[in-house]
Amino acid sequence: MATDHSHSFSARYVHTNCIFNIFCKLRLMLLAGLLLLPQLLAAQWNATVGSESDDLGRQGLAFLPNEIWIHAGDSITWTVAAAEPHTVTFLTDGQIRPPFNVGCPGFFTGSAIFDGSSCITSALLFKDAKLTVTFPVAGNFKLVCLLHNDMTGIVHVLDLSQPLPHDQEFYDRLAQTEGRALLADRDAATPKHDHSQNGVAVGGGEIVATGAGSDTLSVMRFSDPVITVRAGDTVEWTNEDSITAHTVTFGTEPQDPVPPSSNVTVDPDGARHGVLNSISDSVHSGFLQAAPQDRVGLAQASAGVTRFRVTFSKPGIYPYICALHDGLGMKGKVIVLP
Ligand SMILES: [Cu+2]
């Protein structure tokens, strides 16, 4: 008992003394610094999501840069840089890909930690929205967007003993170059399978393979935004984008854009078909979208519906939109002459 008492007395004495001793104070600060060192060493990286042309018509669906090397304990902040929304998502290996509005399930807002053991995702992030992810353990982690199938990247998280190949400045430059290169791809918006006299391509796109996954360019435009036909003619729209869904919507926009409106029938070749008898009529194609690519071990996907036809029985001017991308300027007009 006596020893204990004297020990605590002497510790208190030393501690009290320490407050007035400048060297002792420095030693305490050094100790505190050493304890905080791992946090001080952890770096904060920045990356962008998406790129776009000035008129918003070309959207680069990509993580920019597409691949990044960091240390365990570091964080990356992804900021959306385009009008098309995206998610920042890390699923676990073998996890079934969930719909974007379900999350994985649920969503993280602001920040998240990913160590490969349980998934994390943001909700849809619109322009300037961010998600910061901290990676506490080493590993190579696949990054995906739940809205766009072929928009993937990789984060390489290295042990602290490993050197990092690049700095933030390098990634900033790479993000710019990758984003611009994707938008500059000119052949993506050229209609390739226009077999109809009154054909309009609905968007266009290209998937670009990178060492870390894939970037996608989607052109959110109708190839001939104004087309002139005669009463009784049929116009045919074809979605030529590799992954992005579009619609052709005349009149009132439906609540649910996925199915076609009830006045749409199916032609023998699988194309959807509507008839407009007046400029005040409504007709909606529903989602026009390519079938997803098949993969070994998964059920074959059925053929996608990419084509929509509308027959115009009366003269007039018929404006229409893509219900998903009219905000990006995806609008058109059919002028029907007598
Ligand atoms: Cu669209």
Mean pLDDT of 299-320: 96
What angle in degrees, to the nearest 10, is found between the helix axes of 2-20 and 22-41? Answer: 90
Q: What is the pTM of this model?
A: 0.85
Average of per-residue pLDDT values in the chain: 90
Cβ neighbour number for residue 303 with a 10 Å cutoff: 9
- pLDDT for 333 beyond 70: yes
pLDDT score at 20? 54
Please tell me the distance between residue 81's alpha carbon and the centre of ligand 1 in angstroms: 19
Give the CA diameter of the chain. 112
Q: Are 147 and 100 in contact (CB under 8 A)?
A: yes
Please tell me the distance between residue 329's alpha carbon and the centre of ligand 1 in angstroms: 9
Q: Are 217 and 188 in contact (CB under 8 A)?
A: yes
Mean pLDDT of 101-111: 95
Please tell me the distance between residue 61's alpha carbon and the centre of ligand 1 in angstroms: 14
Please tell me the distance between residue 11's alpha carbon and the centre of ligand 1 in angstroms: 73
Strand partners, 288: 246
Convert the pLDDT of each residue in 27-86 to its tens digit.
Answer: 666 666 555 555 557 899 999 999 999 999 999 999 999 999 999 999 999 999 999 999
Tokens of 81: 């840089």
pLDDT score at 134? 98
Please tell me the distance between residue 248's alpha carbon and the centre of ligand 1 in angstroms: 8
Please tell me the distance between residue 53's alpha carbon and the centre of ligand 1 in angstroms: 15
- How many Å separate Cα 185 from the centre of its chain? 19
Please tell me the distance between residue 140's alpha carbon and the centre of ligand 1 in angstroms: 34
Please tell me the distance between residue 200's alpha carbon and the centre of ligand 1 in angstroms: 13
Q: Which residue do the tokens 């190949």 mark? A: 165
Convert the pLDDT of each residue in 143-174 to its tens digit.
Answer: 999 999 999 999 999 999 999 999 999 999 99
Please tell me the distance between residue 22's alpha carbon and the centre of ligand 1 in angstroms: 68
Of 221, 241, 211, 243, which is closest to residue 145 (Cα–Cα)?
243
Please tell me the distance between residue 325's alpha carbon and the centre of ligand 1 in angstroms: 4
Of 290, 288, 292, 291, which is closest to residue 308 (Cα–Cα)?
288
Report helix, strand or coil for 217.
Answer: strand
Of 181, 153, 171, which is closest to residue 86 (Cα–Cα)?
153
Q: What is the DSSP string of 133-172?
A: EE--S-EEEEEE-SS-TT-EEEEEEE-TTSPPS--HHHHH
Please tell me the distance between residue 239's alpha carbon and the centre of ligand 1 in angstroms: 9
